[in-house]
Structure formats: C-alpha cells, structure tokens
Amino acid sequence: MPIKANDPNRKSWIPVPENSDFPIQNIPFGVFLTRDDVITIGTRIGDHAIDLGSLHQLGYFKDIPLTDDIFLQDTLNDFISDGKKTWRLVRNRIAELFDVRNDELQHNEDHKQVILFTMDEIEMQLPVQIGDYTDFYSSKEHATNIGKMFRDPDNALLPNWLHIPVGYHGRSSTIVPSGTPIRRPYGQTIPKGEDKPVFGPSKLVDFELEMAFITTDANALGEPIDVQEAEDYIFGLVLFNDWSARDIQKWEYVPLGPFLGKNFASSISPWIVTLDALEPFRVQSPKQDPEPLPYLRHKGNNSFDIHLEVDVTPENGESTTVCKSNFKYMYWSMAQQLAHHTVNGCKVNSGDMMGSGTISGTTPDSFGSMLELAWQGTKPVKLNGGEERKSVADNDTITMRGYCSKNGLRIGFGEVASKLLPAIESNPPKKNK
C-alpha cells in the first residue's frame, strides 16, 4: 500500500507556520483532553489539534474498517493493535481530507468547529498505556564514555556490548508526558571513601537524551520476531528524557542493574510520529564490526536521520542548548533491538515502549547527558546566563527537541520539556492527622 500521506507536494488548508514540526506530511498520533473535558485521540497539523474521535463520528473514516469507538479512547493501544495496514489507511485519509485541494471538510464550518482545536485549548496526555518499558543502551559513544569514566579507559566497552543490544527493564508507572514536573528523588548514596550509606535528596540528578519506540502486538509467548520483519511491529517514535539520579544509581546498581536511580520519573513527548512519516529520512546504521550473530543481521537503511537537541533553562533564566546529537548515531537499530528482545520468546504487546538509551555522538557537544557533557563534574557546562552546571539544578527545565529535514520537508517531534522541582521537605512526609 503506497504511503500517499508522504506526498511532498501536498499542502494543507490548515495553516502551517514556517519550520513547523507538523506539516501535513507528519500526521502524528496523540491523546488529548479537549476544552469540553473530553478525552480523545487526535492528530496535529501546524498549530491545530484534530479530534479524530469526532471526525470518525461525523463519518469521515467510513471507508476504513474501524470500530466506532476506536478514537474515543484515552489511549492509542487499541488503534495500534489494529496494525500497520490500518495505521496507513487512516494516515492517508487524514492527508487527503486536510489537503488544500479537498473540499469535503474545508468549508464545513460546523464540522470544523467540532474537530479543530488550537494547542492552547487542549491538554496533551500520555498517548499509550505502557504495559512494559525496556531501555536499551545502544549508543556506542555513550557506552564508551561511561566505560572510560567508571571502568577502564583503554577497555571502555564491556565484552558483550558489540554482540548484544544490551537492555534492561524499566518502570512503566512513572512515565509521564511532557510538562509534568519531576521531584528531585531521595535515596541512599555512598559518600566517597565511606562504607556506610547516607540518606537524603539526590545530589546528582541528570537527564538522558533518548528516543523511544512504541510497539504493536507482535508475537505470542514463546515466538521470536524475525529481524527482517521487526519494523512492521513498530508504530512510531517519541522523544524520551530518561531522568537519572547518578549517586543513587551508583550505590544500588550492582549486580541487578539501575532501579531507584531511574524509576522516579521518565518523560516522553506526547505525539507519536509514525515510521511511515519518517520514511523519507532513512539512513544506514553505523557499520557493525564484528558482524552480529545471524538473528541480528539485516539489510537496508535501518536508521533515521533525526536531529536532536537539549536545552537547559534555569528558573526565570535564559535557555542554553547544551547538546546537539542525532538518532542515526545509534549502533544497534530498532529492528535489532526488537528481534533481540523477542529471540527468547518474550511477548511484546501493543503500547509497549522501548528506549534507545542515551544518544551521544563523537564530539563533546553531542553527548546526551550532563554526566558526559560535564565529564563527571570535571568540565562544568556553561549556561548563557553565566551559571554553570555539573548536574540538573532545582527548578531547571530540561527541553528536548527532535526533527528531520530534507529537500525542504521538515518532520518533527515537538518537544519533551519538564521541570525538576526541589525534593519534598521531609521523607517520609510528616503526617497532619
């Protein structure tokens, strides 16, 4: 089935500002609360959100096999379960309907009144109910930086890293959409040179620049997914800030991996951009040497050229772009990650989320975490207002953006922006009973 929605000549009758992440060729999917306090599934063109629930009720999707309430839900899980063929039919239909050459809806003021919202009229929600969340560790530069800092600089990568897309399970319940403030977490840490831990707010809160993909129902328990087919089970991508408390993580993570140092919060951008929309921006992954085992080998362009950047904005202060990176730096592709994840028969469901791991490039200004940017505190990051940072400070807002750009077409992700609030005053909290 052709991806008609990607036609670069298509223009929408909804105005699209210059450099918008959301031209009619994007058509991301999200969930929002409308001005009437109704939850609906929607898409976005320019600075307008479109209520797909109402659009479907008004009959605009009548030629596509969809259940009546598929968009009148508070998550995209059921729609994602419908599979790639349906996603593409819906995306193509939206592109057609909002095309400036199409009169079906363009001049129907009553219908437009119901389905169109300006962004300030709505409140974006978490787009999916995330059953399971896995985080990979697939940037070679990031893994190398960590190895140099904490292990052997001459032998920075661990023996398994070039053979396995290393990953681990994370916590789904604390994944929140852009805009949700994050609390500085408490935890145990081990003071340098001591052998007894202390308790208090983390002193080393960090961001991690990641992207994450959302899957559909992919397999039955016990059935692996072939790497050649893995992309068929990926609905789309979001920006992902994997908040980390480095001091808590350091004391807790041996031998079973990161836990409380990560699960206090993780933030995602609210619009899921489909793989179809990213199709024009395919590029090759970095060459893999040694060649991976056969179940991880695939041909073609399995990565995407997505520019990424991170801003730090102090309270009432100026923003500073502290990192510019790119999704294409990832050593392991999403298809390899999903094939590896299921090679043992692990079941993947609709709405599961898989993070890339911190995405760092080769140059110091492309490192995807404050830990790497400030090189363990030895090279503080200078902000435009004159302040310095070795980690995220109270009331800093961290904003991540991502977009693709080629031949005049820009497809973007918007942003994931979240503010770090100071720690709660006492822990456990005092009771007022």
DSSP letters along 285-297, please? Answer: PPPPSSPPPGGG-
Least distance in angstroms from the C-beta of 314 to its own copies: 21
Residues 289-308 that bind its own copies (CB under 8 A): 290, 293-295
Is 433 annotated as ligand-binding? Answer: no
107 is catalytic: no
Per CB under 8 A, the list member of 82, 141, 252, 309 interacting with its own copies is 252
Residues 114-153 that bind its own copies (CB under 8 A): 131-132, 134, 137
- 104 sits in the region (left: phi over 0; alpha: psi -120 to 50; else beta) called alpha
Is 358 annotated as ligand-binding? Answer: yes
Q: Which of 256, 210, 233, 211 is nearest to 341 (CA)?
A: 233
Catalytic residue among 48, 56, 142, 298: 142
Which among 2-10, 32-40, 250-258, 396-404 is the span making contact with its own copies, rule CB under 8 A? Answer: 250-258
Least distance in angstroms from the C-beta of 240 to its own copies: 16
Least distance in angstroms from the C-beta of 153 to its own copies: 16
Q: Which residues pair with 402 in a beta bridge?
A: 308
Q: Contact, 278 vs 211, CB < 8 A?
A: no
Residues 6+ apart with CB under 8 A from 69: none
Is 331 annotated as ligand-binding? Answer: no
SS3 string, 387-427, reads CEECCCCCCCEEEEEEEEEECCEEEEEEEEEEEEECCCCCC
- Residue 1 in contact with its own copies, rule: CB under 8 A: no
Per CB under 8 A, the list member of 65, 300, 345, 364 interacting with its own copies is 345
Q: Contact, 368 vs 139, CB < 8 A?
A: yes
Q: Contact, 368 vs 208, CB < 8 A?
A: yes
Is 208 annotated as ligand-binding? Answer: yes
Residues 6+ apart with CB under 8 A from 21: 403, 410, 411, 412, 413, 414
Least distance in angstroms from the C-beta of 239 to its own copies: 20
Per CB under 8 A, the list member of 39, 149, 156, 343 interacting with its own copies is 343
Residue number, 95 or 335, with CB nearest to its own copies: 335
Residues 190-249 that bind its own copies (CB under 8 A): 190, 195-197, 199, 221-227, 245, 248
Interface mask toward its own copies for 22-61; x: CB under 8 A: ----------------------------------------
- Residue 273 in contact with its own copies, rule: CB under 8 A: no
Least distance in angstroms from the C-beta of 354 to its own copies: 12
Is 249 annotated as ligand-binding? Answer: yes
Least distance in angstroms from the C-beta of 167 to its own copies: 6
Q: Contact, 246 vs 258, CB < 8 A?
A: no
Sign of CA dihedral 292, 293, 299, 304: negative
Number of H helices, E strands in the chain: 9, 26
Two tokens at 234?
């990926």
- Residue 284 in contact with its own copies, rule: CB under 8 A: no
Q: Which of 210, 232, 260 is nearest to 348 (CA)?
A: 232
Binding residue positions for Mg(2+): 242, 262, 266
Binding residue positions for substrate: 137, 151, 249, 253, 358
Active-site residue list: 142
